[in-house]
Structure 1
Amino acid sequence: MPTALSILQHTFGYPAFRGQQADIVEHVAANGDALVLMPTGGGKSLCYQIPALLRPGCGIVVSPLIALMQDQVDALTQLGVRAAFLNSTLDLQEANAIEQRLLNGELDLLYVAPERLLTPRFQSLLRRSQIAIFAIDEAHCVSQWGHDFRPEYIQLSVLHENFPDIPRIALTATADHLTRLEIVDRLALQEAKVFLSSFDRPNIRYAVVEKDNPRKQLLYFLRNAHPGDAGIVYCLSRKKVEETAKWLQEQGIRALPYHAGLDASTRQAHQTRFLREDNMVIVATVAFGMGIDKPDVRFVAHLNLPKSLEGYYQETGRAGRDGLPASAWMTYGLQDVILLREMIEQSGTPDEIKRIERQKLDAMLGYCEAPSCRRQVLLHYFSEDATPCGNCDLCLNPPQTWDATTAVRKALSTIYRSGQRYGAGHVIDILLGRETAKMRECGHQHLSTFGIGKDVSEAQWRSTLRQLVATAMVGVSEHGGLHLLDACRAVLRGEQTLQLRRVSDDKQIISAGSKTATVTLDTDEERELWAALRQCRKHLAEEQNVPAYVIFGDATLKHMLEKRPQSLEALHAISGIGDMKLEKYGTDFLAVLQRHHKIHAL
């Protein structure tokens, strides 16, 4: 019988397990249930794929997205694993053939959507088959408090009821304490062992900039930090997606839109191009990305504030899955907070859900206005302690602070005296003494606070008001009006002083996300070999009609560049090259390496 380690080495081509992988595999293979919380890129898939290969029968993987199934099956087939999927892209004849393979014991892994899994017909098929394990991927979809709720997931407890002797493993990359409790409850995993890995993604560099012509800020970021790299740009609305993609195309960036309003064939075509072509930027709503396996996404950019830190973590986690350097960049302003608050209030959801959504939005705002290390704030949200990372914008360019006590009192007094119903723009106009048409209409030029804030810049006032909202001294109504909260009383009474962040130069903040090369290429010789290895991969991928990373990821090519193997045996020792891939592609890549060696050995 093969061991877990031998499957890892010979099938998947990795020398050793990472983190808790070995313990998870051993537990599930021995018939134990498990809840696995592990960051994207941490190797969650191996935690159910290897137990499925160790146990008799077929592993059934519940997956929420068609794209994920296709990618996983393509990658497993390349490794010699008997994998298939059942979803709406198959015609009746193809689906019947796969069902027959399951009944005949000819499959190691079968990916299926929750909607199909729950049908009486499929449940009957499972009863007539030998099942190794059930894996429930993207398990946070079960949570009504979460960011990707899928109502079908709630019914997946039927697996425990109908197949009590088959081990189940639920996996997710993001879940706060509330979501974890709901996963356990909804999936009947009370007896499951919980494996909680660190949520830290040290290869991702986090940066946030104040919104000031966001398109130009994005273009600056793309051209200076990630020229020619593949990445995702998230926008809040379909209209914004379309406009941003079109504008990037006009600037010479290879960009495509993706949102639910596009027809299915266009969405599929754009996703396929993103997966298979180099240097492609996809501009999308958050409908895009869950389950995308592309490991060489070098950046994720947000042009709007996400609704929660879970959503933000999930979306930024799509960058740098291969462990190589990547960026998470965001531009935001107080208007984003107002828009999201308005969406919450008008959503029609129960008051309790609205309350939790408001708390999640407050935590998101607190991350944006953090005075120190962003990674610490992010990990603390997931109940994890961390030291300053040295790799976010605030660590690389620590913000200056100033004694803002007097300025804050001026702002709070202005909000109060103007009636606690006007937005930040009007409050700042009062502080700066601007006689606008609205000012004359309201008569606010006669307020005692009119013009008392001329010693502070408009940009600093904007930042100050955002920080007051983030620290819950000032509230924002659903229509954007500012009002005082109880926490500001101590400042107004003179009982508390306030140190706030001073506004930084945008370009300096952006440079904190400056180019960190995926692979350091110091010489023409290294650049030549890197290009040759990538060209070999591209040619083989086109022959196989699969994305290039399914052949080998950048991390594997990087190891080839570093180690320069000159034999198949040496090539087999490279991480990511298992037996089947060595047999399929070893001679092609070895030829490239040997030819390069001969040329440069002369």
Structure 2
Amino acid sequence: MNKKDIDIHKALKQYFGFSKFKGLQEGVIKSIMNNDDTFVIMPTGGGKSLCYQLPALIKDGTAIVVSPLIALMKNQVDAMRGISSQHGIAHVLNSSLNKTEVAQVKGDIEKGITKLLYVAPESLIKEDYIEFLQAQNISFVAIDEAHCISEWGHDFRPEYRNLRNIIQKIDDVPIIGLTATATEKVQEDILKTLGMSDATTFKASFNRPNLFYDVRPKTKNIDGDIIRFIRGHADKSGIIYCLSRKKVEEIAQLLQVNGIKAVPYHAGLDAKTRAKHQDMFLMEDIDVVVATIAFGMGIDKPDVRFVIHHDIPKSLESYYQETGRAGRDGGEGYCLAYYAYKDIEKLEKFLSGKPIAEQEIGNALLQEVVGYAETSMSRRKYLLHYFGEEFDDVNGLGAEMDDNVVNPKKKHEAKSDLKLLLEVVRDTKEKYKSKELVNTLIGRVNALLKSHKTDEQSFFGCGKYKEGSYWMALIRQALVAGFIRKEIEQYGVVKITENGLKYIDTPTSFMMTEDHIYDETDDPSIVTNSKKAGAASDEVLVKLLKELQKSVAKKNKVPPYAVFQETSLEDMALKYPITMDELKNIYGVGEGKARKFGKPFLDLIAKYVEENDILRPDDFVVKSTGVNSGLKLYIIQNTDRKLPLEDIAKAKGLEFADLIEEMQRIVYSGTKINIDYCIDELLDEEQQEEIYEYFMESDSDRIQDAMDEFDGDYDDDELRLMRIKFISEVAN
């Protein structure tokens, strides 16, 4: 062991109290001590911060640490001050400081007291700071969250792009870039932009064997499902991520009224409240934080036991980083995500307002998320492949910690399909992305295929015997199996590998599992997966309730779904309501509905409970926050006043589709709404009659079924509005 080795081991014990390094830390620290440019890809919880903190404490001069997050800087400065008697050992230099504080920071740097200076990239570009730092002894520059440099990273910051020039202005010192998530594309981008292509690179495994990955269909019963899940993990710490501040507030309130200690966290709260809520979580005064992605970066709480994604994130890197906050101590970590393709469409809509280049990147990243959510292969294997890592799904650590592995779907032989797919990749000269390959296989023409005359080739449409979704699933599995790869430079373009070419010549068995189909059902129906969302409900009681539903419908001369929806019946068979108040708490049942149809159902359930000696799960009743009662009243009052629906939506800051959804909820729970004035402008009497008759005679109230029946004669909104009119008049 040479002198340098002894120094870093001694320093590790002296400053941090550890007797040995973790993972790749030792190699990284030696590289920095040798003044080499260094690039570190280390998942959350791997001990990245120590990689630059220790060399900064040992080396002469001050190390500059560039970080995008003020909260993260504050945490780290406090931690550094905790290991030294010198308060000035670490400082932050950002816009929150006044003149006196800035002078104090500069004084400590000049005296050689400050070993670590944390700066935001925006502060570093200030001319007076650059001039000041040019005159100081800088040991190296560490760039934390380095993926912010890349447009392909999940948290791109334009000001990061200019860091190389600024660093060169200050001094010619080594650079260390660090990130917790980076695909090959992002890695290449970081190294190129920082001008350190010859950097020594350290990449730790992305596998977190103690994390269990689970994706569930996002149904209208999601609130109850989340509450049941948290109650099943009582007194354990967890984070729930939502994409919007509004949803964060709603879910936090819902949890609170259901007796769960939870607080919201998002950028719209003032700094004092955010700090307070963060501390409450760290000190375990509360169990759950409901947050936007503003929460969690650099939060060093090792015993987070679950991370729930109420909304699927915009990229797999975000997902990986957010789930990585669970089980950092190596203990239990449950990662549960709710998925509905409707959420992806919302994100795509949001992207449509961005510049074209940004749209392309955003959509490519979204498709990777869709692939992960819909795949029925090992999610761990899929995720690790995304980060360029092979995983042995039989012997690999944590192989069984995955919903798809625990509940495997049926596999079938796809040897000839895979051969056909690979031939199409080869014969289209490897110039298409997945979507165009699928279009080529199923024979769907578009402008791009036409421009390359692909639609004139003999193989065009050779795979039309299968759905497009089948070929997309096969492309994903062929990628992970290594028969094809995605080009790094032209991201998303599919290339055939050496193994793929060999496979065409000598095909062998390839067992494929078809992707989950998350049904595109809408409110008021339910999204189902291979496992029914109400699988826990009492099947015998469901059958009895359905028979009663039919006889009540016959008596009232309405379709069965107009009495109670199937999802409501399943919820009854889960919660066994026997009073009017309990019935009102059932999904899709409001006061009007309960009063009109409820009595025979309550009588049947009470009798069934008594005869079968059933213990009723009182704690399964999810209390409503009443958040929507004001909105409900507003909608009813203003439709009575015949206010245009667009104006009602605008006044409440809702998308038109969200207003329709809200109105559906109102009529399905038993309250009448009169929107004739609005429908009369859209449809004539004959058209209204035709749609009305369809809903009266149909067994289903699904909009997709109505769309299929009318084959494009009416659009989605027209059918939804007619369904609201129908349910309001017939069922209420």
- TM superposition score normalised by structure 2: 0.55
Deviates more, 1:80-89 or 1:311-320: 80-89
State which of 369, 377, 385 in structure 2 corresponds to 1:372: 377
Contact 1:37–1:196 (8 Å) recurs in 2 = yes
1:577-602 CA deviation, whole Å, 9 max, x = no partner? Answer: xxxxxxxxxxxxxxxxxxxxxxxxxx
User: 1:408-447 counterparts in 2 under 5 A?
Assistant: none
Q: Does 1:312 align with 2:339?
A: no
Q: C-alpha displacement at 1:45, in angstroms? A: 0.9
Q: C-alpha displacement at 1:89, in angstroms? A: 3.6
User: 1:508-519 counterparts in 2 under 5 A?
Assistant: none
Task: Return closer, same or farther for 1:253/1:123 CA change in 2, 3 Å cut-off.
Answer: same
State which of 24, 27, 32 in structure 1 corresponds to 2:31: 27
Q: Does 1:255 align with 2:282?
A: no
Once residues 358 and 404 of structure 1 are traced to their aligned partners in structure 2, the CA distance between those partners, rounded to angstroms, is 31
Contact 1:41–1:320 (8 Å) recurs in 2 = no
Q: Over aligned residues, Cα RMSD in angstroms? A: 2.8
Partner letter of residue 46 of structure 2? G
Partner letter of residue 13 of structure 2? Q
2:399 corresponds to: 390
Once residues 282 and 117 of structure 1 are traced to their aligned partners in structure 2, the CA distance between those partners, rounded to angstroms, is 33
Once residues 300 and 335 of structure 2 are traced to their aligned partners in structure 1, the CA distance between those partners, rounded to angstroms, is 17
Task: Return closer, same or farther for 1:343/1:467 CA change in 2, 3 Å cut-off.
Answer: farther
Task: Return closer, same or farther for 1:98/1:499 CA change in 2, 3 Å cut-off.
Answer: closer
Partner letter of residue 16 of structure 1? K
Q: C-alpha displacement at 1:399, in angstroms? A: 2.3
1:167-225 CA deviation, whole Å, 9 max, x = no partner? Answer: 1101000111221122112222223222121111222221111112211111122111x
Contact 1:25–1:48 (8 Å) recurs in 2 = yes
Residue 71 of structure 2: SS of its match in structure 1? helix
1:400 corresponds to: 409
Residue 290 of structure 1: SS of its match in structure 2? coil
User: 1:50-61 counterparts in 2 under 5 A?
Assistant: 50-61=54-65
| Structure (1 or 2) with the larger CA radius of gyration | 2
Q: C-alpha displacement at 1:498, in angstroms? A: 7.6
Residue 158 of structure 1: SS of its match in structure 2? helix
Once residues 76 and 33 of structure 2 are traced to their aligned partners in structure 1, the CA distance between those partners, rounded to angstroms, is 21
Q: Does 1:362 align with 2:389?
A: no
1:223 corresponds to: 231
2:151 corresponds to: 144
2:521 corresponds to: none
Q: Structure 2: where are the runs of 5+ without partners?
A: 415-443, 445-466, 477-510, 517-528, 537-732
Q: Does 1:504 align with 2:513?
A: no
1:208 corresponds to: 215
Once residues 512 and 94 of structure 2 are traced to their aligned partners in structure 1, the CA distance between those partners, rounded to angstroms, is 60
1:488-532 CA deviation, whole Å, 9 max, x = no partner? Answer: xxxxxxxx99855571255899xxxxxxxxxxxxxxxxxxxxxxx
State which of 300, 305, 308 in structure 1 corresponds to 2:307: 300
Task: Return closer, same or farther for 1:500/1:267 CA change in 2, 3 Å cut-off.
Answer: closer
Q: Structure 1: where are the runs of 5+ without partners?
A: 406-419, 421-463, 474-495, 510-602
1:459 corresponds to: none
Partner letter of residue 355 of structure 2? T
Partner letter of residue 210 of structure 1? P
2:694 corresponds to: none
User: 1:467-546 counterparts in 2 under 5 A?
Assistant: 499=514, 503-504=530-531
Q: Does 1:80 align with 2:84?
A: yes
1:100 corresponds to: 107
Residue 298 of structure 1: SS of its match in structure 2? strand
Once residues 214 and 466 of structure 1 are traced to their aligned partners in structure 2, the CA distance between those partners, rounded to angstroms, is 26
Contact 1:208–1:393 (8 Å) recurs in 2 = no
Q: Does 1:194 align with 2:201?
A: yes
Identical aligned pairs, as a percentage? 44
Partner letter of residue 402 of structure 2? D
User: 1:209-288 counterparts in 2 under 5 A?
Assistant: 209-212=216-219, 213-224=221-232, 226-288=233-295
Task: Return closer, same or farther for 1:61/1:239 CA change in 2, 3 Å cut-off.
Answer: same
2:580 corresponds to: none
Q: Does 1:349 align with 2:349?
A: no
Q: C-alpha displacement at 1:125, in angstroms? A: 1.9
Once residues 299 and 469 of structure 2 are traced to their aligned partners in structure 1, the CA distance between those partners, rounded to angstroms, is 34
Partner letter of residue 262 of structure 1? L
Task: Return closer, same or farther for 1:106/1:500 CA change in 2, 3 Å cut-off.
Answer: closer
1:573 corresponds to: none
Residue 216 of structure 2: SS of its match in structure 1? strand
Partner letter of residue 215 of structure 2? V
Contact 1:374–1:392 (8 Å) recurs in 2 = no
Contact 1:184–1:190 (8 Å) recurs in 2 = yes
Q: C-alpha displacement at 1:19, in angstroms? A: 2.3
State which of 33, 48, 55 in structure 1 corresponds to 2:52: 48
Q: C-alpha displacement at 1:92, in angstroms? A: 2.6
Residue 312 of structure 2: SS of its match in structure 1? coil
Residue 3 of structure 1: SS of its match in structure 2? helix
1:87-111 CA deviation, whole Å, 9 max, x = no partner? Answer: 3443332232122111110112121
Once residues 497 and 45 of structure 1 are traced to their aligned partners in structure 2, the CA distance between those partners, rounded to angstroms, is 42
Residue 189 of structure 1: SS of its match in structure 2? coil
1:123 corresponds to: 130
Partner letter of residue 80 of structure 1? S
Contact 2:81–2:90 (8 Å) recurs in 1 = yes
Once residues 534 and 102 of structure 2 are traced to their aligned partners in structure 1, the CA distance between those partners, rounded to angstroms, is 54
Once residues 378 and 302 of structure 2 are traced to their aligned partners in structure 1, the CA distance between those partners, rounded to angstroms, is 26
